[in-house]
Amino acid sequence: MFYIISKKSGRIHREPTRKLWAAKTYASERSAKAGITRTIKYYQTAIDEVNQVVAQGKPDYHAVRYNAYRDATDPVLGRTHCFDVNNYEIVAVEDYQEPQITRTGRRPYDGKTVTVTLGINDVGTFMDPLCESHWTH
């Protein structure tokens, strides 16, 4: 089993076309490479679609994949690495060492200040006590 890892953040990459409940693992290194190719093609399709809409004289936000276009091209969002094929690496599941992050903040449930250490893939999910979904899940 293999993961696709983002070199910039160290997070496990999820293909933008994959369902949220689908596994993030790949059976072979070859299938993980195909996942990277699908990701790059998805963002290229979004860029082409926005360019086509702009050529028709409409604003760029009329394109269906406008948000993916912004992810791939807008440096303000800080996600332009998503469209860079050199940003991804393939790692065996047993070799992946998840980076840990320690954060201090207020819990949305009761407002108490807490310090938590989480794996980078759990930040902002229901596993994060500093996220409201942790308390409502």
The tens digit of pLDDT for each residue in 22-64 reads: 888 999 999 999 999 999 999 999 999 999 999 999 998 999 9
CA distance 3 to 42: 19
pTM higher than the cut 0.85: no
Condensed to tens digits (0 to 9), the pLDDT of residues 87-129 reads: 899 999 999 888 888 989 888 878 889 898 988 888 878 788 8
CA distance 4 to 89: 6
Longest dimension (CA), the chain: 53
Question: Could you tell me if 85 and 40 are in contact, meaning their C-beta atoms sit under 8 angstroms apart?
Answer: yes
